[in-house]
Homo-oligomer: A and B are copies of this chain.
Amino acid sequence: MKWVIAIIKPFKQDDVREALMAVGVTGMTVSEVRGFGRQKGHTELYRGAEYQVDFLPKIKVEVAVNDAVLDQVIEAIRTSGATGKIGDGKLFVLNIEHAVRLRTGESGPGVL
């Protein structure tokens, strides 16, 4: 089982969710994060005090998937999350050693 972490642009959240559902993913967890990268931030100015804000609002999508569908999932996120402009974000895959569904206590791939 793999833990896929994708950092995407906020307004792409619905597209990515739909793309994931289309390849059979039934669960995911998202959170609001702030990202720093190539995409440039903006300036804020309050009564002459200027702030350079380098962090931009991003959405982090985390989804646990079975190895079998990993490639499909990656492809789904990639195509649905990309706009072709700088700042589209990145996707990282980590290994899950163990998974449990709290409600039932069952573990392993059936959890998803």
Q: State in angstroms the CA–CA spacing of A32 and B33 once bound together.
A: 8
- A42 interface contact, C-beta 8 A: no
Of A93, A103, A105, A111, chain B has the most CB atoms within 10 Å of the CB of A103
Q: A60 to chain B: which residues have CB within 8 Å?
A: 29, 31
Interface size on A, residues (CB 8 A): 55
Please, what's the 1-or-0 string for A22-40, where 1 marks a CB less than 8 Å from any CB in chain B?
0000111111111111100
| Interface check A84, CB cutoff 8 A | yes
13 residue pairs bridging A and B, Cβ less than 8 Å apart: A28-B35, A29-B34, A29-B36, A30-B35, A64-B90, A74-B100, A78-B100, A83-B103, A89-B102, A90-B111, A91-B99, A91-B102, A95-B95
Given contacts A81-B102, A83-B103, A91-B99, 11 further A-B contacts (CB under 8 A): A3-B94, A27-B36, A28-B36, A29-B34, A30-B33, A30-B34, A78-B105, A82-B105, A85-B103, A86-B103, A91-B102
Interface residue ranges, A against B (CB under 8 Å): 1-3, 5-8, 17, 26-38, 54-55, 58, 60, 62, 64, 74, 77-78, 81-103, 105, 111
